[in-house]
């Protein structure tokens, strides 16, 4: 079951989906750092990650 994360900062449309939770976390951190110039707390990543079922 893949993992998904939607960035909730401002009007950001960024969304990442991967079968690897580690990959999602890595890409989310990279996105927040590069796009928003800040860091995201581990707890916020954990809270934001959803497991999704493919239709």
Residues making contact with Zn ion (CB under 5 A): 7, 9, 12, 14
Beta-carbon-side half-sphere exposure of residue 29 (alpha carbons within 13 Å): 9
The number of helices, as runs of H, and strands, as runs of E, in the chain is: 2, 3
Nearer of residues 24 and 55 to Zn ion, judged by Cβ: 24
Residue 21 C-beta: closest distance to Zn ion, Å: 19
When the beta carbons of 7 and 24 are compared against Zn ion, the nearer one is 7
CA 47 to chain centre: 10
CB of 16 to Zn ion, least distance (A): 10
Q: Which is nearer to Zn ion, 11 or 53 (CB)?
A: 11
The rounded distance, in Å, linking the Cα atoms of 55 and 44 is: 27
């Amino acid at each position: 079951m893949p993992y998904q994360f939607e960035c909730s900062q401002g009007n950001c449309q960024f969304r990442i989906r991967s079968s690897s939770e580690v990959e999602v976390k890595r890409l989310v951190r990279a996105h927040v750092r590069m796009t928003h110039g800040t860091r995201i707390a581990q707890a916020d990543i954990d809270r934001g990650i959803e497991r999704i079922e493919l239709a």
